[in-house]
Amino acid sequence: MKRISRLLLLGLAVFVALSCVTVNIYFPAAEAQKTAKEIVNEVRGVKVVPEKKDQGPQSFMWVGVAHAGEKALEVSNATIRALKESIKKRYPKLKPYLARGVLGESLDGYLVLRSTDGLSLKEKAVVRRLMKAENDDRKALYQAVAQALGIDPSQIPRLGRIFAKEWERTAPPGTWVEVKPGEWKRK
């Protein structure tokens, strides 16, 4: 009997130990891809067909609320909106430099300076400042989206790579895009 008890205790200990070392990292890939696509479409001005709204019927003497069909829910909040607005506002300034091959879209979701040949010093200064501002906003955006989606901060680089595909997809022709680590091609 004692022996059985010991075995049971040992089994329980092993079970507890194994339970303790289990690490689950949540990463909603599909949702992240959808979010990235929506955000990038919006800030890059890619038009999508809006969903129709459904006005529900009302009842006499009762006032029914909240049964109306809702707009497709996005991952957003005030910070994300502010960042989207900032990125959207900056995009017209960035676009010519992307198309000229001055800036490139890297695999990790950030802008990279490719070549400043032919740029005046003033333009170089503008490009550097734009790139830093854009990358800082993107970094903050990835953090905010990760927080909204409940993604662990350690997985933010993965989120960046998902965004990278959308940035590359919507980049203007002529943009350098990183297709493999260290391998670039012009769109």
Partner 1 sequence: MKKTLISLVLVLALLGGAVAGRDALLFKILPMVASHFAVALKVEAVHLELFPLTLKAKALEARWRGGEAHFKGIEARFSLFIPSLRELVVDEGRVLIRPSPGGGESGFHLPATLRRVVVGQLTLRVEAPGGELEIGRCGLWVDTRRYVIHGGLSWEGRGVKLKGRFSFAGSRESLAMGGLRGGGRVEGTLWVGKRVVKGVLNLPQLMVNPRGPVVEIRGGYLELPGVLEAEGNLALEDKKGSMEVKGKVVSLGALGGFVSAFPRGVDGVLPFSGKVLWGSRIVYRVELEGGRLWGLNMGVLKKVFLAFSGVLEGDGDGGSLTLDRLVLEDLKLPWGEDGGWKGRGDVDWRKGVEGLAGHLDLSKGEMKITVEGSVPQRRWGDARVTLAFKNIDGAWLSRWANFKTSLWDKGSVEGRFQGEVKVRGGGGKWAVEGKVKGEGLSVSVPPGNGMEGVGASLAFRSRDLVRGPWHLSLDLGEGQALYSYWFFDFSRIPWHFSLDLSRSGRGLCVEEAEYRGLGQGKFQGRFCFPGGGKGKVVFQGKSEVLYSQLVSEPLGEDEPYLKKVSLGGGLKARIFVAWNGALAMKGTIGWKGRLEAPRVSLEGSMVVPLVYASKGREEGWFAMERLTLGPLVLKSWFTPLKGRPFSLKGSRGYEASLWKGSVRWGPFLLYYRDVRNPRFEVDGLSFEGLVPPHAPLPMVLEGKFDKVEGDRKDIFFHGVVRVKVADGEVKITKLRLLNPFTDLMKVGCDIEFQHLNLEELTRVTPFGKITGYIKGYIKDLVISHGQPESFRLRVETQDVKGVKKRISLEAINSISILGGGGPVSLFLPFFKSFGYSYLGLACTLKNDVFTLHGLKRKGKYEYIVEKGGLTGVDVINRNPHNRINFDDMMERLERIRRGKDEKN
Q: Exactly one of 2, 22, 61, 182 binds partner 1 (CB under 8 A); which one?
A: 61
47: contact with partner 1 by CB under 8 A:
no
Pull the structure tokens for residue 147: 């927080």
**Integer CA distances (angstroms), 22 to 10, 11, 29, 144, 162, in order:** 19, 17, 21, 27, 26
161 vs 106: CA distance, rounded Å: 9
Count of residues engaged in binding partner 1, rule: CB under 8 A: 41
Residue 112 makes contact with partner 1 by CB under 8 A: no
Report the alpha-carbon distance of residue 54 to residue 45 in Å, rounded. Answer: 26
Q: Return the range that interacts with partner 1 (CB under 8 A); candidates 5-13, 17-25, 72-80, 166-174.
A: 72-80
In the complex, least distance from residue 156 CB atom to partner 1, rounded to whole angstroms: 16
Contact between 185 and partner 1 by CB under 8 A: the answer reads no
| Residues 130 to 169 in contact with partner 1, rule: CB under 8 A | 130, 132-133, 136, 140, 148
Residue 36: strand, helix, or coil? helix
Answer for which of 33, 82, 95, 187 binds partner 1 (CB under 8 A) is 82
Q: Check binding of 56 to partner 1 (CB under 8 A).
A: yes
Taking the complex as a whole, how short is the minimal distance between the CB of residue 134 and partner 1, in angstroms? 9
Tell the smallest beta-carbon distance from residue 159 to partner 1 (Å).
15
Strands 176-180, 111-113: pairing is: unpaired
Determine contact, residues 24/126, Cβ cutoff 8 Å.
Answer: no
Q: Is 68 in the site for partner 1 (CB under 8 A)?
A: yes
Q: Which of 178, 114, 111 lies closest to 139, judged by CA? A: 111
Task: Report, in Å, the least distance between residue 102 CB and partner 1.
Answer: 11
> Residue 152 and residue 149: Cα distance in Å, rounded?
9
The answer to whether the CB of 105 falls within 8 A of the CB of 179 is: no
Question: What residues line the site for partner 1 (CB under 8 A)?
Answer: 55-56, 58, 60-68, 70-71, 73-83, 86, 113, 116, 120-122, 124-125, 128-130, 132-133, 136, 140, 148
